[in-house]
Structure 1
Amino acid sequence: MTETTYHRDGLSVDQQLALRTAAARLREEFDGVYGTETIERFLHSSYDQFATFSTVPNFLPLLAERFARQRLTALARVEGLRTDGRPVVLFLCVHNAGRSQMALGFFTHLAGDAAIAWSGGSEPGIEINTAAVAAMAERGIDISGEYPKPWTDEVVRAADVVITMGCGDACPIFPSKRYEDWVLDDPAELTVEQVRPIRDEIERRIRQLLDELSVPAQH
């Protein structure tokens, strides 16, 4: 992505600068793995995916950088260019705003650095469910910094286990991959009190999943 690529309608000077800075960080991080063209193509497409529905345009370059980093990491695993042997679990739901984000929060909290977890949605929402954020905070886990995002082919292909939660036929299916469908109530428009049982069931399932993956829970 050259400098002129950023000069599109709707992008401020600050956004252009932020994207150039993000591209530089990603080039340094993936040096020797992917070239500039691939890295900037992923950053560009990631930005466009969030630009269609984000209500916080100044935050878009950071979202794009984070998502591009995840996608490039996934692609490197799929292509065998960078792997560390840790299991990867992907949590999918419809809006990536409640169930999958709570599952991601528990998995990351309990697994630590022993495993990797990602999440995505078939129809990503605008923001994380506030009741889910509050319910997780009661357990000492902060998911307020997460954001709804779609899934991409490379992310699904890089996962060892794909956990689906209500996305039905929209959930991507790849052969020779372990899938589990967790039937859980959707926390959308529920109160914190109503979300707590869903949260607790997700934690139970996460602990069981970690045990099956031989990843010791750290808490």
Structure 2
Amino acid sequence: MKETNTETSTEIIRCGWLNQDPIYIAYHDEEWGKPQHDEIKLFEMLCLEGQQAGLSWITVLKKRDHYRNLYFNFNPIKIAKLGASDVETYLKDPGIVRHKGKIESIINNAKCFLKLEAEGDNFSEFIWSFVDHKQIVNNWSTHKEIPTETANSKAMSKALKAKGFKFIGSTICYAFMQACGLVDDHIINCVSRKNNKYESKVVLF
């Protein structure tokens, strides 16, 4: 996506998957690809990426604030206490994706999160272990070159499934990795890429 800066008459280049929606642009510029280590923010994004399955991300992004209200800002302790009656109530709420399996998956994943931490694993450390605790920076010329899954996302998906998490397929995991900055997939000419400084660049295949 290209945008003209009239003050300087220079062209601002962003990743090609964007549209002109200001919410989407702000998300791209301020969040996408920036390393996130907060375990609750990681948990939130993993759950929201699962809600996206079969839909566009902008659809879920526009509903994110409402998800935060319904799910206690993604506090796993509070979410884990939700029951069948809450699921039925949520199914009637147009502010979220009304899919029973997806609604239940957030409750399930909260319980898995708590179990993982009760066993002594920090969720953030667990998630970042799939990239050896260091952001992977790719060198794509266009967004069409970017893969939808990798060996890393397959490994993450397999590990999360083994721990009971749901709606965490390999493609969902890769989108999650991109969103939370485990991987930087901004194209090389993207303004967000140019605003970042890297000590090294690693191509992920």
Is the TM value for this pair above 0.5? Answer: no
TM-score range, shorter chain: under 0.3
Q: Which has the higher contact order (CA 8 A, sep 6+)?
A: 2
Q: TM-score, normalised by structure 2?
A: 0.26
Q: TM-score, normalised by structure 1?
A: 0.24
